[in-house]
Structure 1
Amino acid sequence: MKTLIDHLAQYAAYHRDRRNILSHFFGVPLIVLAVAVLLSRPAVEVLGLWLSPATLSALAVGVFYLRLDLRFGLLMAALLGLCLWGAQVLAGQATLVWLGSGLALFVIGWLIQFIGHYYEGRKPAFVDDVMGLLIGPLFVVAEAAFLLGLRREVEDEVVRRVGPTCIRAKHASAHERRPN
């Protein structure tokens, strides 16, 4: 199995433009929520838990993230839990509301993604490796962590492998100009 760094570096190679990365902060969460919504039917309630294809998918993906990295995995599990909660609320609505909201979120999320990749000038990572569909949400969380100054060791290794993003290059230039 590839490591966290392997996956993030491979995905990051397709995402170096700041506009594309920014688009992922909006598009990827919409797509993840849309998939959770669309997979939330059919469902059954067992011991107060809403069991659906979305639940089973989130559990499998959550285990994958946890195997890659405990800290990111726990955060991803919490975020997937929030998606499942929102999806359950929408899945409990009339079929038109459930299906319409799921499809709308999906289409809007992908439109945002393709706009970002237009600026990048490169196709989405999943075109060359379907694992990019699973790594995309993790990439967004990792990028947010890096912007907050967290997980520098992971960021440094990813940047060492694929080079800085426009965001990091600009940030690094600002640091170089500052007197000590």
Structure 2
Amino acid sequence: MALVQQQDVESPGGRRTNIGQAVGSGAILAVACLISYVVITSILTREYSVSRDDDFLGGMWAAVATIFVYRQSYIESARAAFSRTLATLASFVLCLIYLLIFPFHVVGMAALIGIISILLALIRRSEEIITAAITTAVVMVVAGISPQHAWIQPILRLVDSAVGILVGMAAAWIALGLGLSSKPQRSDA
């Protein structure tokens, strides 16, 4: 496969195809991030908004989830969506339980990151540790910034991530339909 990609880059027609795919894929990602951000900051905030700053954070978090999910192939995007969903759910559960009982504290945040790392390693999902740890750090720090309703932060970040994941998968599907990403490969083994 590397040989095929190298030949494409070296031939004038292949180079144009790669440039076109790069531009098309980049444009789809940019529009997908815009959609994720707008859905969170303009549409969903009509239902519930903690603060303007929190709305912006939610938009950013949805765009990050979209970036995380949108990959070079549809199958890679599906795997990334599953990974992001699992990591977000694990963080959501632990942070919500913690914040229903305790206020934000940096030691609590560190403990949750340690616990989530151990749990994911034990269920053999170590590839999700980084995403779950980052999500936990974001949720906990934002809960510290907005302590009045800290328990709502895991719920809001779950919604932000879900929107970003869905938009990222939709973008990957569109890219596949436009021939900008590789098709899912069938495994007959």
Confirm or deny a common fold (TM above 0.5): no
Higher helix share: 2
TM range (shorter): 0.3 to 0.5
Structure whose alpha-carbon radius of gyration is higher: 2
Query: With CA pairs under 8 Å and 6+ residues apart, which has the higher RCO, 1 or 2?
Result: 1
Instruction: Name the TM-score, length of structure 1 as normaliser.
Output: 0.36
